[in-house]
Structure formats: C-alpha cells, structure tokens
Amino acid sequence: MTNAAIEIQGLTKDYPVGFWRKRMCRSLDYLTLRVEEGETFGFLGPNGAGKTTTMKLLMGLIFPTAGTARVRGRSIDDVRMHREIGYMPEQPYFYDYLTARELLEYFARFFGYNAVERRERVRRFLELVGLTTASDVQLRKFSKGMLQRVGIAQAILHDPQVVFLDEPMSGLDPVGRREVRDIILNLKRQGRTVFFSTHILSDAEMLCDRVGVLVGGKLQGVGAPEELVSMEVLGMEILFEVRAGSAPPTSMAERATHAGNRYRIEVAEADLYSALEELRSCEARILSVAPLRPSLEDYFLKLVGREKATRPPIEVSLV
Amino acid sequence: MSTHTLKITSHVRSVTLAVVAVPLLFVAIAALQARIDVLSAPVTQDKEELVLRSASLLKKLSLGYDPLLADIYWTRAVQYYGTRLQNRSGSFQLLAPLLNIAATLDPKLLIVYQFGGIFLSDHPPGGAGRPDLAVELVKRGITANPNEWRLYYDLGFIYYTRLKDYQKASRAFLEGSETPAAPIWMKIMAARVAENGESLETSRFIWAELYDSTKDESVRKTALEHVQGLDAEIALKRLNQVSEVYWKKFGRFPTSMQELRGAGLVEGDLKDPAGYPYAMGPRGIPQLDPHSSVKIESNQRKP
Amino acid sequence: MSTMPAVVAVNTFREAVRDRVLYNLIIFALMMIGGAILVGEISIGVHQMVIVNLGLSAISIFGIIMAIFIGVGLVHKEMEKRTLYSLLAKPIRRWEFLVGKFAGLLLTLVVNTALMTLGLTGALYYVSRTFERSDVAILVAVYFILLELALITALALFFSCFSSPLLSTLYTLGIYVAGVFAPDIKGVGEYTQSPAMAAGARFVYYLLPNFHNFNVIAAAAHGETIPFTLIWHNTLYAALYVILILVAASAVFSGRNLK
C-alpha cells in the first residue's frame, strides 16, 4: 500500500533526429523518481534538460520510449488519472477567441459540475488569480503574465490532488511571482502534491520539500534542499554603511566591495566580533550580518559542471 | 526495459480496432454501394449530369483537360448505350448529346464517330433510330479529320445501310478512297454501289470490314450479327435458286432439304452460321430454323 | 463521460461561429442564390428549375469549401498552437476529442446549410408564390448535400491529424473529385479488355467514397421524388464511411507525439 503521489520508473524518451530520422537523441534517460502525497517537489535543471519532456510524458502528450509512471496509483495511460491532476503547460496557449471566463467554463465542463457550481468555481478562481476585471476580455488581448495566471487557474479549478506546473513563475513580475508562490504555498497547506519545474533556485529553496536536479536528461540528485547543500558555515558576511564623507576602516577597505557608500565584506567566523568592533569605532551603520553557506545554486552549478560562481557585486535591493 | 512486452496502451487499442474494423466496414460499404447502384439507376440515369449540355461551356470549364473529359463522356456514352440496350427501353435520347460532347472535347477521338454512326442510325431496339443525327456526327468528324478514310467509310456505311441512299454512299466511298492510306477496295466499292445499289455481297463486305477493323466491343458484336445474317441470306438466296431448279426438273416444289440432297443438287451440311440447319418453307422457299439466333433483314421486314 | 465529445463539439461550433470568414462565405452564397433569380428571369418557363439548380449547386459548393477550409485545421491548428496541451490534460480521451471536433464542424455546416436553404426557399417563393409537393425533393437534395459534407469533413479531419493544411486540402479535394467521377471509374472497368484493369477499376470504385451517390440536384430540379430506400441506403453509406474514417483517424492520432 503506497501513498506515493507520483511514481516514475525508468521513464525514457528518444527522439529521431537527422535528415533521415535515423539517429536517436535521448532527451530523458531512465528517470526514476518518487514523490509522496502532500510533497512540494521542485524539478530543477538547465534549459533543455528534459523537464518539460518529463511533464509532457506524464500528461500523455507524448509517449515514452520505455518506462512507466503512475500518479495516485493510476497509470499515466489511464484517462481517469486526469481527473485528479492539474497541469499548467510551460507556455500557456489557449483558444484566443474565448474570454478568460469562457475558457475556464469550457475546461470546467470536463469535470461534470452542474451549471451553478461551474459558474461559482470559475468566479472564485478568476478572483484567486486576480483576473476578475479581465474575465470577459478575449484571451488574444491578454499579456503573457495574464495568460500565465489563466494557466494556473485552469490547472487547479477542479481541486486536483496533484498539480503539475511547468515553469509557473516565468514571465511574471515580482508581484506576480509572489502571488504564484502564495498559491503554491496554499496548495501545500491544503495537503496537495505540487510538482513544478523551474530554474529559479531561490523559489525552489523556499517552497520545496524536496528537489530533483535534471541535467542532460539524467537525474543527478534528489533530496531536500538543505540535504543537498552542506550546513557548513564558510564565513560571515557583513553589510554596512559608512557615514557620508568617511571611509571604511583601512583593514577592510581592500577586501570590501561597495556601491556608493554601502559596503560588503566577508570575514572568518572567528573574526566576526573584532570586525564589528572596528566598524563601531568608525561609526559605520551595520545593515546585516549573515552566515555564508553554500547555496543551492552552488550545488546546482557544480552539477552542471561549471565553475563555482563568483560572488556577485553587492546589490542591495529594498524588498 | 519493457521493449518486448506490448503495453496495452490506448494507442494499441485504437490501432487494433482500426485494423479489425476498417476492412469490415469497407466490405459493408462495398455491399451497400452495389445496392445503391441498383436502386439509383432509374433516378440518376435519366437526368444525368447533362445539366451541362452545352459542350462549349464544358470545354471552357474543363481547364485544358479536354481529352480526359472527352474520354469520360465517351465512356459514359458507351455505358449509357449498354444499359439502355439491356433494359430494352428503346429510347437513347442522351446518346447523341453525350457523343457530341465527347467529339467537341476531343475531335480526334475517332471511335466516337464510328460508334455514333452505327448506333445512332440503327433502328430501335438496337439503336436510336436517328440516321440524320448519325450523319451529322460523322460529318463533324470528317471536318475535323479530313484525311481519315475510316470516317468516309462510316459515312458511306450510314447512307448505304440505313438510309439506302446509294448515290450518297458511293460518293462517300469515293471521297474516302482519295485520302492517303485509303485501302484500294474503297474505289471499287464506290463503283459497285453506284452501279448495283444494294446487294447482299456488298453489304456483307461492308459489315465484315467493320468487324475486322474495329476495336470496340459493341461495334464488333453488331457487325458479327450482321455478317452472319447476311451469310445466311446469301445462302438462302442460293438455296432458293436451287429450289427453282428442282421445280423445273420435277414440276413441284421441294418439301425438305433432304429432297434437294437426294436430287444431287446440294451437298454438305446446310447449316446456318449459328449451327441450325436450314429448313424448307412453303412453296419451296428456304428458311431459317425457327430456333436459330441468326437475324436477317428480310425476317424483320415480315409482318 | 460520453459527454466529452459534446463538450468539444459545442466549443468547436463556437469557434467556427466567431470566425469571420464563415460569414463572408454565407453572404456570397446568398448572393449567388439571389443572382439565380435574375438569371432565371431570362429563360422563361424554366425559372424554377434554374433557381433550384444554381441554388443547390451553390449550397453544395460553399458547403464543401467550408468543410475543407475549416476541416483541415481542426486538429492541426490545435497541435500547432498547442492549445491541445491543456485540453488533453483533462479527463478526455483522444478519440473523444476527434469525435467532438467532427461533430462541432458538422453542426456548423448544418446550421449554415439550413440558413442557405432558407434563402433558397425564399427565392423560390418569391418567384412562384406557392409551395409545391415537389419542393420536398429540394429538401432531400439538401439532406444529401449534408451527407456529402459529413464525409468530406471526416476526410479533412483525418488528414488534419498528420499533415499540414495545404496537403490535407489537396488530399481531401483529390479524393472528393475522384469520388465524384466514381461511376466513370466503374465504367472504365466495364469497358476495358484487360481483366487486371477491370479488377483494379472495380476495386478502386468500391474503395473510394462515392460522392456521385449524393448528387440528386438534377432530380430535385425536376421535382422528382427520391425513393425512401435510396435515402436510407445513402444515409447508412455515409454513416458507415464516416465511422470508418474516424476509426482510422483515432488510430493515427492516439499514437501521435505532440511537439
């Protein structure tokens, strides 16, 4: 008796390439993965790694060369499986001659609601994604961000137990992204399983119980974000501001990076308090003190095989 | 992994259904079609797509595929004739228009003129009984193909066989004999027809020539019938002469072929082209066996 | 569950209705029918026959144009535009989708044909000021046109599953034209000397959808009644053939990997 929401076994997809379509290009290589009920799972990977291919295979849009998969115990070949899942494709394309409301009503019809229920649901979910005012505008007039929201709405309006989102944050402004994050968190709170792909690692870190990293069609690592990166503290980071006209303490001047009169410096954990003392003596204003740990991004990049990223220049954004 | 076991996916199910159902459905459809053909014969046959009777309009519409359309109309004409013949309906109203359309679309389709020449002029139930239309059609053919000796022959045929106009027939044969590649006998025929008018031997020659040279099945069939009929007539004529000799000799008419044989006046089988023995009729006039399938003109002239 | 095709059908109908091209075609067809009144004026005595002939031909031609024009994009467009992605994630089987698209377009054609027939009846009434029993033949002819359109739609849909709109149009048109000349193909088989040709022609004759069956326009123009058995047989013929094509389309589409 398993309560795996998603069970993928050796899923493989080959595409014929070349002029005569004789050579095979393997876009997914024996993916084996298991996602439990209620988990929020992040599917990470660079572009072209095979994330969308995986989703399309699970949705039955394309067919596997080998392997099987089950969602909530039902094979992906079983049409009944689709009652319990929601799917938001990577680039949402919908019937542009319909309005948002009409589209959602159309899709809602596939789930057997009566007219009253349908209308109510559509209204509720249009509100949830913030499209109430645009609900009677034809989709061909929608911006990408608005289409993205329609995409989410149509994926969840039938209260599916497992939700598949392919790059849900892409094309959204920060406000939009936060709204999507909130929706995902809400789904999580409702005990639903969320499987989403992204290449925004900070989102993954924040939202996911576990992540899987797909590179070149192969699953490279699976686990909770904090499991994948070590807890080792590499040092402390201090952000400070000097008074107008002054300069930072000489011992720090070379090692610090700055923008305007905002400075950033890394010190060894043992040197933290002496450094703070120095800053206090020149009346610098301490903005933040934080431990340096390897991030998911480091792990990610290491997997992808590139060199460790250099720390980016100081970018203090007011959030 | 699971490449050897066939997963019963929905795709596999669909394909299996298709492989089983499609041939079965095709068989059912074919059977239905056969039934429909039978049912719709009376409805569609008469009011054929002769909605477009105007041949010139058709020519414009055919976008340059005239010869192809001509073949189609020619085929239809043959079919039309064949079905009408079978039904013994006796009316061949659409035959002339169909043939004319074919001729307009492809004036060089010679078989159209020959076919029309024979079957438009033949009297019902074998043909439309319109020798005038036949002449018109063949003359069109001659205008379009002035060096085809065959067409003059076809024209002469109509005048000789159907219209009994031996002058015009002779003239047609003569004109034809002057075209390149015309056979030598055409001139002789012209002369003979002009002199003697109708004769069994000439008629037989004309029909036999048709039989030998045509490629069309219907034409061959009718030509053969006529040749056999004429052979029978010639034989009967000769037998009649023998009968008279017998009368002169014995003072009475012979009552059977045996008597003629007994008198040593004939020998051999005395069978008609269909294989039936000739019989002796009243007053010593030889006749065909009543069961014989051979048709002769004089038979048809009898009331 | 069996209402899935209906859901898709209604939406397909809605899409067609919102497509402006359709209205242009209908208006053009009605203009043709109106023009028929003028043309008929010229040839006295056959006024009605000309109107019926022209009118029914117009309805048939425009119906065919619509059926092919929309039909070849039915599946192809959804695959190209990827609207199928979100649709097929719903609990709908691929064949249900196909049947729904077919039914939706057919519904559109029925509505359009009905409108045009109304126009034709109006034109006839304008000319003759009375309805006759023989006018029933016109309705039968329209019904036959609809059967024809159903077949063409199914064909266009089938090709739409795997080939581009241009090629699908060519294939569908090709089969239609061949089907119109079906009896001539049969004639070739009967006329030819070679038994191989004869067998081949007969085989092709029974294989092709015989569109000639449905052409009773001339009979309708003469006000002839068409026997019920023929109507029934033709309906069955069209139904079986449509089922055949949809089964084949389902087999093709159910294994197709969407890009």
Which of B58, B51, B49 lies closest to B105, judged by CA?
B58
Instruction: Work out the mean pLDDT of chain B and round it to a whole number.
Output: 81
Residue C208 forms part of a structural domain? yes
**What local confidence, expressed as pLDDT, does residue A308 receive?**
32
Cβ–Cβ gap B47/C187 under 8 Å: no
Domain count, chain C: 1
Q: Which domain holds residue B257?
A: 224-301
- Together in a domain, B125 and B158: yes
Residue B23 forms part of a structural domain? no
How far is Cα B33 from Cα C210, in angstroms, rounded to an integer? 8
Report the complex ipTM: 0.86
Domain count, chain B: 2
Cα B68 to chain center, whole Å? Answer: 23
Find the CB nearest C82 among A83, A89, A110: A89
pLDDT category of residue B23 using cuts at 50, 70 and 90: very high
Q: Mean pLDDT, to the nearest integer, of B6-19?
A: 85
Going through chain B in order, the beta strands assigned E by DSSP cover 279-280, 286-287
- Together in a domain, B141 and B289: no
Q: Could you say which of B201, B221, B241 is where a domain stops?
A: B221
Residue C190 forms part of a structural domain? yes
Closest alpha carbon within chain C to B24: C244
How far is Cα A197 from Cα A43, in angstroms, rounded to an integer? 4
Residue B40 forms part of a structural domain? no
- Dihedral sign for Cα atoms in the order C125, C127, C129, C131: negative
- Together in a domain, B276 and B169: no
**Hey, is the C-beta of A113 within 8 angstroms of any chain C C-beta?**
no
Residue B216 forms part of a structural domain? yes
**What local confidence, expressed as pLDDT, does residue A120 receive?**
95
Q: Is B280 helix (H, G, I), strand (E, B) or coil?
A: strand
Of the CA atoms within 13 Å of residue A47, those in its CB half-sphere come to 2
Residue with tokens 């040593």: B264
Q: Which domain holds residue C248?
A: 4-253
pLDDT category of residue C41 using cuts at 50, 70 and 90: low
Least confident of C58-62, C118-122, C129-133: C129-133
pLDDT at C28 over 90: no
- Together in a domain, B230 and B273: yes
Residue with tokens 């269909």: B274
**What local confidence, expressed as pLDDT, does residue B303 receive?**
32
**What local confidence, expressed as pLDDT, does residue B195 receive?**
76
Residues of C in contact with B17 (CB under 8 A): 247, 250-251
Q: Find all residues with CB under 8 Å of B294, minimum gap 6, and list them.
A: B228, B229, B232, B272, B273, B274, B276, B288
pLDDT category of residue B300 using cuts at 50, 70 and 90: very low
* Cβ(C33)–Cβ(C138) below 8 Å: no
**The 3-state secondary structure of chain A, one letter per residue:** CCCEEEEEEEEEEEEEECCCCCEEEEEEEEEEEEEECCCEEEEECCCCCCHHHHHHHHHCCCCCCEEEEEECCEECCCHHHHHCEEEECCCCCCCCCCEHHHHHHHHHHHHCCCHHHHHHHHHHHHHHCCCCCCCCCEHHHCCHHHHHHHHHHHHHCCCCCEEEEECCCCCCCHHHHHHHHHHHHHHHHCCCEEEEEECCHHHHHHHCCEEEEEECCEEEEEECHHHHCCCCCCEEEEEEECCCCCCCCHHHHCCCEEECCEEEEEECHHHHHHHHHHHHHCCCEEEEEEEECCCHHHHHHHHHCCCCCCCCCCCCCCC
The DSSP H or E segment spanning C159 is helix C136-160
Residue C258 forms part of a structural domain? no
Residue B34 forms part of a structural domain? no
Q: Which chains touch C (3 or more CB pairs under 8 A)?
A: A, B
Q: Mean pLDDT, to the nearest integer, of B118-147?
A: 88
Residue B254 forms part of a structural domain? yes
Cα B86 to chain center, whole Å? Answer: 13
Residue C259 forms part of a structural domain? no
Q: What is the pLDDT of residues C68-104, one digit of tens each?
A: 999 999 999 999 889 999 999 999 999 999 999 999 9
Residue B41 forms part of a structural domain? no
Q: Which regions of chain A are under pLDDT 70?
A: 1-2, 229-232, 305-319
- Together in a domain, B215 and B145: yes
Find the CB nearest C15 among A95, A107, A154: A95
- Together in a domain, B66 and B205: yes
pLDDT at C39 over 70: no
- Together in a domain, B169 and B255: no
**Hey, is the C-beta of A154 within 8 angstroms of any chain C C-beta?**
yes
Residues of A in contact with C257 (CB under 8 A): 61-63
Q: What is the pLDDT of residues B232-261, one digit of tens each?
A: 888 888 888 888 888 888 888 888 888 888
Domains in chain A (CATH in brackets) are 1-84+160-176+190-226 (3.40.50.300), 92-159 (no CATH), 235-292 (3.30.70.3400)
Farthest CA pair distance, chain C? 62
**What local confidence, expressed as pLDDT, does residue C119 receive?**
84
Q: Could you say which of B221, B246, B271 is where a domain stops?
A: B221
Bond into B282 cis (ω within 30):
no
How far is Cα A247 from Cα A125, in angstroms, rounded to an integer? 55
Residue B116 forms part of a structural domain? yes
Q: Which two tokens stand for residue C78?
A: 């959804």
Residue B8 forms part of a structural domain? no
Pairing between strand A4-17 and A23-36? antiparallel
Amino acid at B253: F
Q: Chain C, 26-55: which have a CB under 8 Å from a chain B CB? A: 53
Amino acid at C161: C
